[in-house]
Amino acid sequence: MAAVSKLPQLLPPGLPASEEPFAGGYEIVWSVYIRCKSLQKLREVHIPALEALIGQPHGGKGWLYDNERYIKNRDRSLKRIIALKRIPGPYTDQILVDFMKTLYSLSSYWTIQARLDPSHPRGLYVCASFRSEPPPSETPAVVDAQVELEANFTDAMGGESGRYLGSGQRIS
Return per-residue pLDDT of the chain as tens, 172 residues.
444 445 445 555 566 667 777 778 899 999 999 988 888 999 999 999 999 998 888 777 789 888 666 566 667 788 899 998 888 878 889 999 999 999 999 888 899 999 988 888 888 999 999 988 766 677 888 989 999 999 887 655 454 544 545 555 555 4
Q: Is residue 15 part of a domain?
A: no
Q: How far apart are CA 157 and CA 151, in angstroms?
A: 12
Predicted pLDDT at 123: 86
| Domain count for the chain | 1
Q: How many C-alpha atoms does 76 have within 13 Å on its Cβ side?
A: 3
Q: Is residue 166 part of a domain?
A: yes
Q: Is residue 131 part of a domain?
A: yes
- Can you give the residue range of the structural domain that contains 44? 22-170
Predicted pLDDT at 118: 85
What's phi and psi for 155, nearest 5 deg? Answer: -65, -40
Of 54, 166, 143, residue with least CA distance to 103: 54
